[in-house]
Structure 1
Amino acid sequence: MIKAKWLYSELPISLAQLSNAMKDHQYTESSGFGFLLTNSSPSKLVGKYIEKLVRKTLVEDPFGHTSEIEVISYYVCQFNWSSKSNYMYISEPPRSLRKFSSKLHDLTGLGLVLSEVNVAPDQWIELIESNADYLKILKISSYGIRVSQNSTAKISVAGGSDVRDEFSELVSSRRYLVDSVKFEAGFSNLIVNGELTKTGVCRLKSANAGFILEKLRDALESSSRHIFY
């Protein structure tokens, strides 16, 4: 199972220019930060940003003596851009993207946009379904369902087969928002199990996750709206 977080981006420079800038700031142990690229072309930019984090801490032994040791960890942010889309994704995203976005601003200057997406998962999955051999929604989690003048409800419907009919019957004509969907889909001989959320996070289990992520990128182009922060 892999996890990816989708972001909306606008770059003030081309991918080729950004690639060259990243190559000029490659990671080294001496600097403790920088980029490592795995795919760099005019149409694709894939790699990771790394920062070495060193923390000193005091350790006391059983005899009451204290010594200072260094604890080393690494901040890693794996990114994937395509020149054909304004949507990029972060694989196995770190807890915060601040270090990564700050370094991008340093490289690109003014004009960089990097924002979270706010997408309707049910619309996102319908666009994916149009390119799949088959697709089953196995769980729908929704919220904002009005049950009285002063209260709303959350509803989740799950099953071993497609649950869309059961969900529609349950919510009837009430207004609702979808928080996440879990699904199974087939593309030729490739089977994928996954989950999509309203914040653009996806979790996928597939023999070719890269292929599915590109399908998700294509679908995002016409299904999402973004918010800036």
Structure 2
Amino acid sequence: MKKIKLLKIFLPNSLEETYSKILNNPFKIGAPNGFEPIKISESYACAKFIEEVISKELIIDPFGNTEEVTSKRYIINEFTISRIRNDHILILENPSRSVRELIRKLSEILGTRFYASAIQIDIHALSEFLSNNRDSIHLKNTRALLSGVNLDKGSSATIEITSLKDAIHDARYHFKGKTFKIERARFTASSGTKKSTIEVRSTGLISVHGPDEKSLVELINMFIAEGLS
């Protein structure tokens, strides 16, 4: 399964200059963090961000003796900075739970003009885009989580809908005239006997699993790019 997190970013310098600064900040044993470059092309740059985390724990044995145990672990985030028209997107593959340290480090080496912001995905629009751009694949929306469903003047609800056909269509039908947000959704993409699954969160976190994983991720990135233009 490939999980990706998408963020819109602003680069103070060109993609080539950005990659050069990443090259000049390699990870070294004993350093708190650093980068491992992978590849650069005209439209994207790939690298790994490695963070060393040291944990200390006090262990008390049955006799009351105390010993401090130190352990190390490494958090590795592989990322791509992709240039799309006049914008740049930061794509994180299988991201850790927090990417705050990566953003802080990029800001440190690129300058204070660098910033990253979350991308909000219109899941209904994404569903239509995927259906219209893959003639050979049958897309089915099996689950959708709605928030802010207005029930009356004083109450709203968070509702999860499961469907054998199209959960988003069912939501728009049963709650016609009501406002709500699709927080996340699950899709199956079938092509002959092959089946892939897509899970999308409106906050820009996407998981794809199956034989069409690569092409589906490319389509999703294309959808994001069109939304930025």
TM-score by length of 1: 0.87
1:124 aligns with 2:126: yes
Secondary structure of 2:119's aligned partner: strand
1:195 equivalent among 195, 199, 205: 199
Which sits farther off after the overlay, 126-135 or 194-203?
Answer: 126-135
Aligned-pair distance for 1:15? Answer: 1.8
Identity of aligned residues (%): 22
8 A contact 1:48–1:79 mirrored in 2: yes
8 A contact 1:3–1:204 mirrored in 2: yes
d(CA) in 2 for partners of 1:187, 1:23:
41
Which sits farther off after the overlay, 83-92 or 9-18?
Answer: 83-92
d(CA) in 1 for partners of 2:164, 2:30:
53
Match of 2:150 in 1: 146
**What amino acid is aligned across from residue 107 of structure 1 in structure 2?**
I
- The runs of 4+ residues in structure 1 deviating greater than 6 Å are 187-190
Cα 1:90–1:41 shift into 2, 3 Å: same
d(CA) in 2 for partners of 1:32, 1:194:
35
What is the correspondence of 1:199-218 to structure 2 with a 5 Å cutoff? Answer: 199-207=203-211, 209-218=213-222
Cα 1:127–1:88 shift into 2, 3 Å: farther
Match of 1:179 in 2: 183
Match of 1:158 in 2: 162
User: Aligned-residue CA RMSD in angstroms?
Assistant: 2.3
8 A contact 1:140–1:157 mirrored in 2: yes
d(CA) in 2 for partners of 1:165, 1:56:
52
**What amino acid is aligned across from residue 96 of structure 1 in structure 2?**
S
Cα deviation, 1:29-84, whole Å, max 9, x if unaligned, reads 13242111222223221221111122232222333322222111223222122222
Cα 1:56–1:143 shift into 2, 3 Å: closer
Cα deviation, 1:85-127, whole Å, max 9, x if unaligned, reads 5322212222222211111011111321201122221112222
Structure 2 gaps, min length 5: none
Aligned-pair distance for 1:9? Answer: 1.1
Match of 1:107 in 2: 109
Match of 1:63 in 2: 63
Secondary structure of 2:55's aligned partner: strand
**What amino acid is aligned across from residue 125 of structure 1 in structure 2?**
S
d(CA) in 2 for partners of 1:14, 1:190:
41
d(CA) in 2 for partners of 1:189, 1:82:
33
Q: When the two structures are aligned, how many residues end up with a matched partner?
A: 225
8 A contact 2:59–2:68 mirrored in 1: yes
Cα 1:55–1:153 shift into 2, 3 Å: closer
Aligned-pair distance for 1:192? Answer: 2.4
8 A contact 1:44–1:80 mirrored in 2: yes
1:41 aligns with 2:45: no
8 A contact 2:83–2:89 mirrored in 1: no
Match of 2:92 in 1: 90
Structure 1 gaps, min length 5: none
8 A contact 2:183–2:201 mirrored in 1: yes
d(CA) in 1 for partners of 2:50, 2:217:
23
